[in-house]
């Protein structure tokens, strides 16, 4: 079966947007009270609503996930070297460079594709101050093993949780682990505010500090205590977030159905394996990554081209590895033999379309195309 040429492309993701008329009352309120930004009423409401929804106590909204990552490193005064994964979106390592920190790449686990705790210890030097793991695709990292290494070596942990909205392990938010966790609310994410992000903080004091940092370092009208930045979320984006939150459970439920359908339909396709999330985690099905191995009749890239020829816009998240980009590839930790598992994953991965409006018929058509090579 084919996605006929006159049909619209099927993207890897598509934002889930509530009916436009539901947004009008929010806009009217903004127009009435003329508070557009700087911690207005919708900003405050969204922070409270997200804390409740996610089951966390303190959350600071941001303009986007990248600025939230950059600010989280400032907030904990991280310097020197930080151990991180090469298998992520480039913003993870860029946030380190923007702080003058040297990223040290460690290899990933072949099953979860998250930072492999057994590779962290060997990467620690006297300059190491923190670990920045990523809950890649929303699949939880081995949080206990990472915490025990951090405790042993007195290191901070900042989780890049950009993909992990609403993910839980052992019945509670994945965001409770580490010193800080950072979310992205970009248009392509499970929960979006067009652009947006957040830092989840363990206590009110840390949130206060982060709130100052995201507002140029202002504590009051005349006092600036830190070289802060402008990371504030606008009222427009915060209002969108409040509206999206009303529909999020429905969106997550549909994502889980699609995930289950893909797994069922793909289970007998030779040379294709579905990446598994953590054992007893509540998943958000943010992405649907498959690994295309040697037993598949054609290469991963040939499959990628053939799906795209059908307007099925699959993506190779995450290829190339971050460590292969020009600003990183000279680092000792970026060398080939240090990252064998990540290299294989980057060569084999293909993210299939997943978003709430994707129909069962479209999922079947995509799998049929994969099975028919
Ligand atoms: N850490 C991690 C682990 C991340 O994955 C990300 C971002 C960050 C940090 C940084 O967070 P933010 O600063 O972005 O909040 C996309 C996103 O731009 C990026 O947010 C995301 N990760 C990354 C994994 O994916 P691209 O370059 O692949 O996006 P793009 O524009 O090609 O969009 C993909 C598809 O989505 C399009 O083919 C169509 C669809 N789409 C996209 C947009 C923007 C829509 O349907 N509507 C839209 O508005 O990076």
Is the CB of 237 inside a 6 Å radius of any atom of ligand 1?
no
Say whether both 240 and 254 belong to one domain. no
Q: What's the pLDDT tens digit per position in 294-313?
A: 999 999 999 999 999 999 99
Question: What does the pLDDT read at residue 279?
Answer: 67
Q: Is residue 301 part of a domain?
A: yes
Is the CB of 87 inside a 6 Å radius of any atom of ligand 1?
no
> Strands, DSSP E only, in 109-239?
128-132, 156-160, 168-169, 172-173, 180-184, 197-201, 218-220, 223-224
Question: What does the pLDDT read at residue 278?
Answer: 66
Say whether both 127 and 179 belong to one domain. yes
Say whether both 45 and 191 belong to one domain. yes
Domain that holds residue 134: 20-245
- For ligand 1, what atom is nearest to the CA of residue 95? 9
Measured distance CA(315)–CA(305) in Å, rounded? 10
Name the DSSP class of 233. P
Q: Is residue 1 part of a domain?
A: no
- Residue 101 gets the label, from left (phi > 0), alpha (psi -120 to 50) or beta, of beta
pTM, two decimals, is 0.97
Say whether both 254 and 237 belong to one domain. no
Q: Is residue 5 part of a domain?
A: no
Confidence of residue 246 (pLDDT cuts 50, 70, 90): very high
Q: Is residue 231 part of a domain?
A: yes
Confidence of residue 281 (pLDDT cuts 50, 70, 90): confident
Pairing relation of β-strands 180-184 and 197-201?
antiparallel
Question: What does the pLDDT read at residue 321?
Answer: 98
Domain boundary among 245, 279, 299: 245
Q: How many domains does the chain have?
A: 2
Residue 260: pLDDT over 80: yes
Say whether both 201 and 118 belong to one domain. yes
Is the CB of 64 inside a 6 Å radius of any atom of ligand 1?
yes
Q: What is the arithmetic mean of pLDDT over 316-332?
A: 98
User: And the tokens for 360?
Assistant: 């069962």
Measured distance CA(272)–CA(260) in Å, rounded? 15
CATH of the domain at 317: 3.90.1150.10
Which of 67, 89, 161, 315, when mutated, tests ligand 1's pocket best, judged by the most ligand atoms within 8 Å of its CB? 89
Q: Is residue 32 part of a domain?
A: yes
Q: Are the C-beta atoms of 186 and 196 separated by less than 8 Å? A: yes
Say whether both 160 and 192 belong to one domain. yes
> What separation in Å is there between the alpha carbon of 186 and the centre of ligand 1?
6
Q: What's the pLDDT tens digit per position in 332-365?
A: 999 989 999 999 999 999 999 999 999 999 999 9
β-bridge partners, 59: 200
Q: Are the C-beta atoms of 89 and 319 separated by less than 8 Å? A: no
> What separation in Å is there between the alpha carbon of 193 and the centre of ligand 1?
13
Q: What is the arithmetic mean of pLDDT over 147-160?
A: 98
> What separation in Å is there between the alpha carbon of 13 and the centre of ligand 1?
9
Residue 106: pLDDT over 80: yes
Residue 6: pLDDT over 80: no
CATH of the domain at 124: 3.40.640.10
């Amino acid at each position: 079966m084919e996605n006929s040429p006159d049909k619209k492309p099927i993207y890897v993701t598509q934002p889930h947007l509530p009916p436009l008329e539901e947004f009008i009352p929010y806009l009217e309120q903004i127009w009435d009270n003329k508070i557009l930004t700087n911690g207005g009423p919708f900003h405050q409401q969204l922070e409270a609503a997200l804390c409740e929804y996610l089951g966390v106590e303190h959350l600071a909204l941001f303009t986007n996930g990248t600025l939230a990552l950059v600010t989280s490193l400032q907030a904990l005064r991280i310097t020197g070297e930080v151990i991180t994964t090469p298998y992520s979106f480039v913003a993870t390592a860029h946030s380190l460079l923007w702080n003058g920190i040297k990223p040290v790449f460690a290899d990933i686990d072949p099953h979860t594709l998250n930072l492999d705790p057994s590779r962290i210890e060997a990467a620690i030097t006297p300059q190491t101050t923190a670990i920045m793991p990523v809950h890649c695709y929303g699949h939880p990292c081995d949080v206990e093993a990472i915490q025990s290494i951090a405790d042993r070596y007195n290191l901070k942990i900042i989780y890049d949780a950009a993909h992990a909205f609403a993910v839980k392990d052992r019945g509670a938010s994945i965001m409770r682990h580490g010193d800080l966790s950072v979310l992205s609310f970009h248009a392509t994410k499970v929960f979006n505010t067009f652009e947006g992000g957040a830092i989840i903080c363990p206590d009110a004091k840390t949130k206060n500090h982060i709130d100052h940092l995201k507002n140029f370092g202002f504590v009051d009208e005349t006092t600036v205590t830190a070289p802060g930045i402008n990371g504030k979320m606008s009222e427009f984006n915060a209002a969108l977030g409040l509206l999206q939150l009303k529909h999020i459970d429905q969106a997550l439920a549909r994502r889980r159905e699609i995930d289950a359908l893909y797994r069922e339909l793909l289970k007998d396709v030779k040379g294709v394996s579905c990446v598994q999330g953590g054992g007893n985690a509540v998943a958000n099905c943010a992405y649907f990554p498959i690994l295309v191995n040697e037993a598949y009749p054609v290469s991963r890239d040939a499959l990628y081209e053939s799906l795209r020829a059908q307007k099925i816009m699959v993506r190779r998240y995450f290829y190339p590895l971050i460590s292969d980009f020009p600003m990183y590839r000279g680092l000792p930790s970026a060398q080939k033999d240090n990252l064998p598992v990540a290299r294989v994953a980057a060569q084999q991965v293909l993210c299939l379309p997943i978003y709430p409006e994707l129909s069962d018929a479209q999922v079947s058509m995509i799998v049929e195309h994969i099975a028919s090579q």
